[in-house]
Amino acid sequence: MLEKLKGRWKVNGLNLVLIICTFAVGGSLCGWAGRKLLLLTGLEKGLAWILLYIALVTFLWPFCVLLISIPLGQFSFFIKYLTKIWNRMTGNTSPISIAIFASGAGSNAEKIIEQTMVSVKTNQCSFSVDLIVCNKPGAGVLDIAARHHIDTLLIEKEQFFRGDAYVGELQKRGISFIVLAGFLWKIPPALIKAYPNKIINIHPALLPNYGGKGMYGAKVHEAIIAAGEKESGISIHYVDELYDHGNIIFQAKCAIDENDTADSLAEKIHSLEHKHYPAVLEDLLKNAK
């Protein structure tokens, strides 16, 4: 049974224990709180007392569980768990299931994940990050996925470029949209064909300038500084068969000062990415529903 729960909830053994503890302690807390509140009513035990107790416990349970989940490090799991329960009860349309492809530290991926948590709280969640796809074992984005209880898929070149590009695996997992966040491999035609206009990328420059093969990360910022540009920015665009070529969805700019270096420009660009990528994705998928 425990192995089935680990598979269903996509957690390791330690997190499973902490989740079970959260259920147990949260349930005990809401039972205790329900009895304390009933004492304030002065009701004697009877049918009315029992019915009111059941109503109070039902109302208090999600709050108590979320409260206990914080010190046990399971808050993100229970936010997603309670959201699914709420959607089933209310008949709300399920959020669009997305996969984030990343190769490195995953700062943009984490900002997008955090956006889903904010949207859940405001009941305006248009998407759910259900899979992190990575081509580098040990990449920081895998730690982020583990922390947020998100499933991961490690991919290798042969299958990605000369096999089915993992299309079957993505479809089996119900992935409807793909977000590239620092993913350094070119997307193969098989994946683009399977997800037409459903793959987006963020580039650390104002396309069509400073894009193309080999233009990523620090190389972009170094080229922009060397050219003496007065401004740079980010471009969020759809992905097609060419590097940094698909239709542009959104751009944001920042000024380049005379004392800026590639490193200081990178900090400005990261700030723009973290501010705009999650918000643009939220708007894009909200309109797609």
pLDDT tens string, the chain, 289 residues long: the values are 677 776 667 677 888 899 999 999 999 999 999 999 988 888 888 888 899 999 999 999 999 999 999 999 988 888 878 877 876 676 666 678 999 999 999 999 999 998 887 655 455 667 889 999 999 999 999 999 999 889 999 999 999 999 999 999 998 888 999 999 999 899 999 999 999 999 999 999 999 999 988 888 899 999 999 999 999 999 999 999 888 889 999 999 999 999 999 999 999 999 999 999 999 998 888 876 5
- What residue numbers bound the domain in which 266 lies? 95-288
Q: In the chain, how many domains are there? A: 2
- Asked if residue 135 and residue 21 are part of one domain, the reply reads no
| Collapsed DSSP state (helix, strand, coil) of residue 37 | helix
Burial class, 138, CB count within 10 angstroms (exposed 0-12 / middle 13-18 / buried 19+): exposed
- Asked if residue 259 and residue 128 are part of one domain, the reply reads yes
- Asked if residue 171 and residue 57 are part of one domain, the reply reads no
Sheet of 151-154: strand order equals 151-154, 127-134, 96-102, 177-180, 199-203, 231-238, 248-255
Residue 276: the pLDDT is 95
- Asked if residue 29 and residue 151 are part of one domain, the reply reads no
- Asked if residue 172 and residue 37 are part of one domain, the reply reads no
d(CA 172, CA 91): 23
Single out the catalytic residue among 149, 203, 237, 276. 203
Residue 212: the pLDDT is 87
d(CA 161, CA 271): 32
- Asked if residue 257 and residue 221 are part of one domain, the reply reads yes
- Asked if residue 159 and residue 281 are part of one domain, the reply reads yes
DSSP E strand boundaries for the chain: 96-102, 127-134, 151-154, 177-180, 199-203, 231-238, 248-255
Residue 204: the pLDDT is 94
Residue 160: give its domain's CATH number. Answer: 3.40.50.170
Residue 15: the pLDDT is 84
Q: How many CB atoms lie within 10 A of CB 88?
A: 10
With contact defined as beta carbons under 8 Å apart, do 29 and 67 qualify? yes
Residue 145: the pLDDT is 94
- Asked if residue 99 and residue 85 are part of one domain, the reply reads no
Q: Is 203 part of the annotated catalytic residue set?
A: yes
